[in-house]
Amino acid sequence: MDQKDGAKLKTINVNGKKINKTGNYVTSEESVKFESTYLETLESGHNMIEFVMDDGSKSNVEITIKE
């Protein structure tokens, strides 16, 4: 994900809904790893992930879930 220098991840929205970190994903300074149990709850097809940073900037990624 693209981010400005010094910006930190604030929230993640999936398909327009904020998701809780606990049990759904883990973060490091450079990455976000979604738990497989969370990914299994998503609908098949295209899903939009929005990363919201603490400085207000956002980055979007689309993932595809196959059946």
Residue 67's pLDDT band, with cuts at 50, 70 and 90, is confident
In a domain, 43, yes or no: yes
Alpha carbons 67 and 52: distance in angstroms, whole number:
28
Predicted pLDDT at 3: 57
- Whole-number pLDDT of residue 23: 95
Which pLDDT score is estimated for 2?
53
For the chain, the domain total comes to 1
Structural domain for 51, as ranges: 9-65
Asked if residue 2 belongs to a domain, the reply is no
Q: Is residue 55 part of a domain?
A: yes
Q: Is residue 4 part of a domain?
A: no
Q: Has residue 1 been placed in a domain?
A: no
What are the tens digits of pLDDT across the range 3-54? 567 789 999 999 999 999 999 999 988 899 999 999 999 999 999 999 999 9
